[in-house]
């Protein structure tokens, strides 16, 4: 399909659950205030863990969003995604009818799926209680069942997709849903990501990799992207979901339009299983792919929502990538790292950060990168330290880079009819 016939894709609904709160508004207020809810882990005993802190979703009751039967048979990451999706649908006021179901789809990302369901069932097998493993174990564990559950709950019969690309999965989920609509295969998509990785096995594995912060005595200051004293990321849980629509469809029903998706990039470093390519070549190329897809130039980007994990190599590499692509303009672009407050939501991270990017466009505010008290000399860009900043934001580039060298970038723009 040639460029002229490509559909325009807009965002008409938002839903979010994170450690900062269980509504989009609560999250936005906390982010703008520079608040953190990183705390000691309560879900399991961390006595034998190097890292004892994380970002847990609090006061979450799944039956506020689904019936008790569904809540009992689904795992936490499915509950998160379905709940955030219901928020987004209600926000969008999109009603899925029999006549529109075949043109409405779902795209949900996760890195790990229902890991707590796996741990519980594995424990039963090891204890000799194989017959007590639930028949719902597999449907609550495998990654694509979040999308499947949402399709069942909301009656969507269009494309059904699941991105399982580590830390870039949420961005890929939205980007691939954008492509589905752009090329005319659907009129609307529920897209985003969810994760519930706070479990003994995941923490044991991450402890072995030594990638998490061990600043256990000061949890709120543990995630500190681009700071010289950073010592690792914070593992968090939650979900972000968006309603994407073809522009004419949204206009016909009088939908509120938050922003337009202008471009998407997806590539790979092909370098290392966990470490990004040191010079940021793959990340820079991915950002360029998104800018080119949007028909923009580097001068059109007003804000960058960084991957910003608070790990030594990732923050330096992302900084190099931004410099490589933007040249002398790199120091003129305000960059924010939401993970300084939210922690790292893995497959949910890109989706939550996409929502924050959209809210920056709508509200003219760039949330801060908190805990940036002693800047790394190798990270010398404008990371909006400590305090939110008022700004005219028409376009935002949102970055996600993951294990396996996978990269994803999205560009959101202020809607212009």
List residues with catalytic annotation.
Answer: 167, 307, 344
Largest pairwise CA distance in the chain: 64
335 in Cβ contact with 382 (< 8 Å): yes
Strand order in the sheet with 160-163: 160-163, 104-109, 188-195, 238-246, 9-17, 259-268, 406-413, 395-402, 303-305, 335-336
Q: How far apart are CA 255 and CA 167, in angstroms?
A: 31
Euclidean distance between CA atoms 52 and 42, whole angstroms: 9
390, containing H or E segment: strand 389-390
Give the residue among 206, 226, 259, 194 at the shortest CA–CA distance from 395: 259
CA angle at residue 212 from 27 to 372, to 5 degrees? 60
104 to 89, 99, 122, 161, 174: CA distances (angstroms): 12, 10, 36, 12, 14
Sequence-separated (6 or more) residues with CB below 8 Å from residue 141: 75, 113, 114, 115, 117, 118, 121
Instruction: Give yes or no for a contact between 294 and 261, defined as CB atoms under 8 angstroms apart.
Output: no
Q: Which residue has the tokens 């559909």?
A: 7
Say how far apart CA 274 and CA 405 lie, in whole Å: 7
The beta-carbon contacts of 97-103 under 8 Å, at least 24 apart in sequence, are 100/187, 100/188, 101/155, 101/156, 101/157, 101/158, 102/157, 102/158, 103/158, 103/186, 103/187, 103/188
């Amino acid at each position: 399909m040639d460029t002229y016939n490509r559909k325009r894709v807009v965002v008409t609904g938002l839903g979010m659950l994170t450690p900062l709160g269980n509504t989009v508004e609560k999250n936005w207020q906390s982010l703008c205030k520079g608040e953190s809810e990183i705390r000691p882990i309560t879900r399991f005993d961390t006595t034998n863990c190097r890292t004892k802190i994380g970002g847990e979703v609090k006061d979450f009751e799944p039956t506020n969003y689904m019936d008790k039967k569904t809540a009992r048979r689904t795992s936490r990451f499915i509950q998160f995604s379905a709940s955030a999706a219901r928020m987004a649908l209600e926000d969008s006021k999109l009603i899925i009818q029999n006549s529109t179901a075949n043109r409405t789809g779902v795209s949900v990302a996760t890195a790990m799926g229902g890991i707590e369901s796996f741990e519980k069932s594995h424990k039963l097998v090891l204890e000799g209680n194989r017959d007590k493993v639930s028949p719902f174990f597999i449907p609550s564990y495998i990654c694509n069942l979040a999308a499947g559950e949402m399709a069942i709950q909301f009656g969507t019969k269009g494309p059904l997709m699941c991105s399982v690309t580590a830390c870039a999965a949420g961005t890929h989920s939205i980007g691939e849903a954008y492509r589905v609509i752009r090329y005319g295969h659907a009129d609307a998509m529920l897209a985003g990501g969810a994760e519930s990785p706070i479990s003994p096995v995941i923490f044991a594995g991450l402890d072995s990799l030594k990638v998490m912060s061990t600043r256990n005595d000061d949890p709120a200051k543990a995630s500190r992207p681009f700071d010289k004293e950073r010592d690792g990321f914070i593992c968090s849980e939650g979900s972000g979901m968006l309603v994407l629509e073809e522009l004419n469809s949204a206009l016909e029903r009088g939908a509120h339009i938050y922003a337009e998706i202008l471009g998407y990039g997806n590539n790979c470093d092909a370098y290392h299983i966990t470490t990004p390519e040191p010079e940021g070549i793959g990340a820079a190329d991915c950002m360029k792919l998104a800018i080119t897809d949007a028909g923009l130039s580097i001068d059109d980007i007003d804000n960058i929502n960084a991957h910003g994990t608070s790990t030594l190599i990732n923050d330096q590499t992302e900084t190099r990538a931004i410099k490589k692509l933007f040249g002398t303009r790199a120091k003129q672009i305000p960059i924010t790292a939401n993970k300084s407050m939210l922690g790292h939501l893995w497959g949910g991270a890109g989706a939550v950060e996409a929502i924050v990017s959209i809210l920056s466009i709508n509200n003219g505010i760039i949330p801060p990168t908190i805990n940036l008290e002693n800047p790394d000399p190798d990270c010398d860009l404008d990371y909006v330290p400590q305090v939110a900043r008022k700004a005219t934001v028409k376009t935002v580039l949102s970055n996600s880079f993951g294990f396996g060298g996978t990269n994803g970038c999205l560009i959101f723009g202020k809607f212009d009819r």
